[in-house]
Amino acid sequence: MAKRLVVIGGTAAGLSAASKAKRNMPELEIEVYEKSGYVSYGACGLPYFVGNLIHEPEDLVSLTADQLRTKRGIPTYIHHEVTAIDRVAKIVTVSNLDTGDRFERPYDALVIATGAVPVLPPIPGIHAEGVHCLRTVESGIALKARVQCGAKKAVVIGGGFIGLEVAEELALSGVQVTLLEGEKRLLTFLNEEYAAEVERTLSAGGVSVHTGCPAKEIILQSGRAAGVLGADGCVYDADLVLVAVGVRPCADLARAAGLALGYKGGIVVDEHLQTSDPSIWACGDCVQMRNLITGEPCYVPLGTTANKQGRIAGGNLTGEDGCFRGVLASQVTKVFDLYIASTGLSMEQARSAGFDPACTAITKGDRASYYPGGGDNHLYLVFDRHTGRLLGAQGIGTASVAGRINVLVAAITSGMTVSQLNELDLVYAPPVAPVYDPILIAASQAL
């Protein structure tokens, strides 16, 4: 059994692993190394910090490094980067980024939870001053400072969740926002109709959306970003540019240590989150994942997964036998007053996975028609034409759409057909749901 645990990365996955291991084995000596200046923070709240709905960076933090040491008994070091792993000697090399000191620490068990890094499109000017990414608290502070220093115009490159959330927050802060998306629609996992509704909502909120328009160049003035040239030949002026075209696993350390890497360069782990080295576990955005429906490798970097995987890795390295079987890519967000949620496969994904999929879409009020308030839920189901097995679901509308997609997550996970979905004994009361829930309406239409 391990006596000394070293954890690399001090946020969702790393600290979930450290906390679980400490709870299971209080005598375990643990050290957590984090290269940024913050640990245990909610990156998911960063767009709302930029929009000043959340005022201070500290508000995003659950436990500081000091609190982790004193309250949880987990010595945690910020501004400390692990620069090498010697798997034979079971030693990591750590660099103190404040002092420049380097030192070595032994481990019996090692958890790699190094997360992900933003992808930067290889276009001229991408490294210029005024071009931002949003990933760490520091990057949020820099972006917010730019907004608060009076940025008037912003270009957001990328129409995924993060790009949309930040576009919304910048627009609400009074910044004139242009959003450039290279694909033909925003949130490409959504069906065309729902993606178009998201685009309409953004436009109504003052965001100028250009789809099918990848950024070609960052236009510079005196060395700093002053605009973005789109593939349509237009230059969109900007005091600040946010690049949000996705992330990739931060796995350089693992690669250098000779660990097996897989899909998109994520660290290969088994169901127990053990890497190709039995003394090393890896979890969160740095690992390759497995799609629960297709069984194929995938990469879906989400906080939900990182927390769960961290907890399982921490349990397993103290002798448990936990499994993480895979992901459905269940996600939710909102832009202005439109809530968007999805899980499982889209039609395109289902087709390329070898299914013969069919789909159905319905619109239904989210409570009894005579009860004041509420609004519509638009639900879209993807299912196998021959077996009726549910493969995916998307929803847009009021906040209640998230709960409905969660029901559909359970249905997909348990392998339900649309016929079984149609038989579900779902709740009803006028202020909460209509007597025939939107899920039942969608399921019956799919029969």
Single out the segment in contact with ligand FAD by CB under 6 A; choices: 6-14, 171-179, 229-237, 273-281. 6-14
Single out the segment in contact with ligand FAD by CB under 6 A; choices: 33-41, 183-191, 196-204, 266-274. 33-41
Closest listed residue to residue 158, CA positions, set 176, 134, 175: 134
Rounded to whole angstroms, how far apart are CA atoms 327 and 445? 27
- Under rule CB under 6 A, how many of the chain's residues touch ligand FAD? 32
Among 2, 21, 43, 147, interactor with ligand FAD by CB under 6 A: 43
- Closest to ligand FAD by CB, 9 or 344: 9
Asked whether position 81 contacts ligand FAD by CB under 6 A, the answer is yes
CB 50 within 8 A of CB 37: no
Among 34, 169, 181, 277, interactor with ligand FAD by CB under 6 A: 34
- Closest to ligand FAD by CB, 23 or 248: 248
Could you give the string, one character per residue 98-127, with x where binding to ligand FAD holds by CB under 6 A and - elsewhere?
---------------xxxx-----------
Rounded to whole angstroms, how far apart are CA atoms 186 and 245? 11
Pairing of strands 235-237, 240-243: unpaired
At closest approach, how far in Å is the CB of 146 from ligand FAD? 16
Question: Which residue stretches of 100-179 are H helix?
Answer: 137-148, 161-172
384 CB burial (10 A radius; 0-12, 13-18, 19+): middle
SS3 256: helix
325: Cα within 13 Å, side-chain hemisphere: 7
At closest approach, how far in Å is the CB of 392 from ligand FAD? 18
At closest approach, how far in Å is the CB of 284 from ligand FAD? 2
Beta-strand runs (E) in 203-246: 207-210, 215-221, 224-230, 235-237, 240-243
Among 82, 143, 273, 421, interactor with ligand FAD by CB under 6 A: 82
Question: By CB under 6 A, what part of segment 408-437 binds ligand FAD?
Answer: none
The two structure tokens encoding residue 272 = 């127990």
Single out the segment in contact with ligand FAD by CB under 6 A; choices: 28-36, 187-195, 216-224, 345-353. 28-36
CB 395 within 8 A of CB 401: yes
**Catalytic site residue 213?**
no
- Closest to ligand FAD by CB, 339 or 355: 339
DSSP lists the bridge partners of residue 178 as 155, 208
Asked whether position 313 contacts ligand FAD by CB under 6 A, the answer is no
Among 20, 22, 35, 185, interactor with ligand FAD by CB under 6 A: 35
Question: Which of 44, 133, 234, 250 does the annotation list as catalytic?
Answer: 44
314 CB burial (10 A radius; 0-12, 13-18, 19+): buried
Q: Which residues contact 278 (CB under 8 A, 6 or more apart)?
A: none
DSSP lists the bridge partners of residue 116 as 249
Question: By CB under 6 A, what part of segment 267-306 binds ligand FAD?
Answer: 284-285, 301-304, 306
- In the complex, which residues of this chain contact ligand FAD (CB under 6 A)? 8-9, 11-14, 33-36, 43-44, 46-47, 81-82, 113-116, 134-135, 162, 250, 253, 284-285, 301-304, 306
Catalytic residues: 44
